[in-house]
Chain A
Amino acid sequence: GNSVTQMEGPVTLSEEAFLTINCTYTATGYPSLFWYVQYPGEGLQLLLKATKADDKGSNKGFEATYRKETTSFHLEKGSVQVSDSAVYFCALSAGNQFYFGTGTSLTVIP
């Protein structure tokens, strides 16, 4: 079946630190992969996506590369800001279904 396994949090970083949130997936066929972000008190926003192997999604300084050989889609940012504090969800789409990871809470302290 299809599933997403996401690094557990919470994660606390100092401002300007490097961020990695791990995400691996299991899927039949060729899924699309996504990172969504949920800021406090808000709904989910699409952060970035990749639709095929070796694609790199990027947005707002965040990046993730679709790695078919390791079935991974790790989220990275070189220098986090306080405003990046949020919950991050890795997700995949296959067919008509979406599958979400459990979410990773990130807190960035000044």
Chain B
Amino acid sequence: SAVISQKPSRDICQRGTSLTIQCQVDSQVTMMFWYRQQPGQSLTLIATANQGSEATYESGFVIDKFPISRPNLTFSTLTVSNMSPEDSSIYLCSVEDRAGPYEQYFGPGTRLTVT
């Protein structure tokens, strides 16, 4: 299984600013995923990030609002741009494990509050 860390673990940000969330994995992985979990709700996939190509965004999410970088096989960043209170959520990165039955491992999450 993969061990995933995220920075920051939590932050309180002002409306209109941007925050970059980092995700680090302890092994090389092809695909990384970014999810949003709004208060009291389930997970919503924002985008899939493959190393060496543009991220693939899900319906309702756009690159201008959530730019993603994937510079190598162990690291990715998600930026939440021009934040509003509606962006207050937990943001989670995950990786897939294709060594055995397909499953995903999650980072601890970044708890974002926008005021």
Contacts and interface: CB of A to CB of B under 8 A. Distances in A.
A1 to B, nearest CB: 13
14 contacts: A32-B101, A43-B90, A44-B43, A44-B92, A44-B106, A49-B101, A49-B103, A89-B42, A93-B103, A96-B96, A97-B45, A98-B45, A100-B42, A103-B42
Contacts of B92: 43-44
B31 interface: yes
Interface residues on A, range: 20 to 34
Interface string A37-53: 00001111110010100
Nearest to B33: A98
B41 interface: yes
Interface of A: 32, 34, 36, 41-46, 49, 51, 89, 93, 96-98, 100-103
A43 B106 contact: yes
A45 B105 CA distance: 7
A46 B105 contact: yes
Main secondary structure of the interface of A (DSSP, over half): strand
B106 A45 contact: yes
A32 B96 CA distance: 13
Q: Label chain B's interface by main secondary structure.
A: strand
Nearest to A97: B45
Contacts of A43: 6, 90, 92, 106-109
Contacts of A103: 41-42
Interface string B84-105: 0000001010101000011111
B37 to A, nearest CB: 8
A96 B31 contact: yes
Contact of B103 (A42, A46, A89): A46
Contact of A51 (B41, B101, B111): B101
Q: Which of B31, B101, B105, B109 has the most CB of A within 10 A?
A: B101
A102 B104 contact: no
B51 to A, nearest CB: 15
A32 B102 contact: yes
Contacts of A93: 102-104
